[in-house]
Amino acid sequence: MRSHRRLGWLLVLAGGALALALQVVAPVGVPLYDGVVVAEPYRYLHPTGDETGDPSSYSSVEDVTGGQSPFFAAATEESPPQAQLVVMEDAFQLNAGTTHLNVSITPVDPVAPSANGTIAGNAYRFAVTDDAGQPVSAKTCEGCRTLVLRAPDGVTDGRVQHFADGTWTDVKTDHYGVAAMYQSNLEALGDFAVVTGASGGPGGGGGLDPLLFGGIALAAFFAVVAGLFWYRRRPPPVPVVRLGPGRGRMPSKRRGPRRPPTGRS
């Protein structure tokens, strides 16, 4: 009984370690929607053929208290959203006298095409300004500003690019955990888009896909579990008793040779 309990705790610990490793390698962001998500068709800013148009935008006013920029989660209205921005507290350097922040996400025409790939879907402009409409500067912080972009259906090799200084540049990109959705931690705001083709380049998606890594890790985990169960359930070996010479011999059932008659009556 104790051995079975030890095996159960071993499996629990192994599963926990696997979940922790996957979160470290492919962190899952905070979703902005709950329940079963029914994906509607991608909405294009300039649809062609049978494509769906009229993509939504987002805007809100976030109050500033305590002299720090507040937490907020912004998302467009599609299901799932085509553009999201999650910001932690104190992620921006506030201008003097700032009492609120204006947050907006807007689908826009790309200022220029990407020289290192093809833009898939819409480009989106992410902006945060103060009372006077002046942009606020992003503070240096790890993972305090997270962007999620959805690409059109069928995009499996996308990465996020940022338009700045007249060119589109790759930023470090992770799969969000849902097909055709890509996540990036931002150092600055501005125009972003999902790009396919060409090379990921420095800071791009590249490397081992976290989803592929997760699949390999899960397969290895279940293989270990199956091996442990097989080992515990296999029949015990039959003990072999070794006896000394002349011991433990079974009497022979064969009869000896018949004696000749002696003639006695």
Model confidence at 176, in pLDDT bands (50, 70, 90)?
Answer: confident
Model confidence at 247, in pLDDT bands (50, 70, 90)?
Answer: low
For the ranges 15-24, 25-34, 37-46, 113-122, the one whose mean pLDDT is highest: 113-122
Predicted TM-score (pTM) of this structure = 0.66
Q: Which of 44-53, 64-73, 174-183, 193-202 has the lowest mean pLDDT?
A: 193-202
Q: Would you state the pLDDT for residue 210? A: 47
pLDDT digits (tens, 9 = 90+) for 130-162: 999 999 999 999 999 999 999 999 998 899 999
Query: Mean pLDDT throughout 85-108?
Result: 97
- Mean pLDDT estimate for the chain: 79
Q: Would you state the pLDDT for residue 206? A: 43
DSSP string, the chain: -HHHHHHHHHHHHHHHHHHHHHHHHS-----S--S---PPPPEESS--TT-EE----EEEEEE-BTTBPPPEEEE-SSSS-SEEEEE-TT-EEPPTT--EEEEEEEEE--SS--TTSEEEEEEEEEEEE-TTSPBPEEP--SSSEEEEEEPPTT--S-EEEEEETTEEEE---EE-SSTTEEEEE-SS-EEEEEEESS---TTSS-SS-HHHHHHHHHHHHHHHHHHHHHHHHSPPPPP-----TTSSPPPP-S--PPPPP----
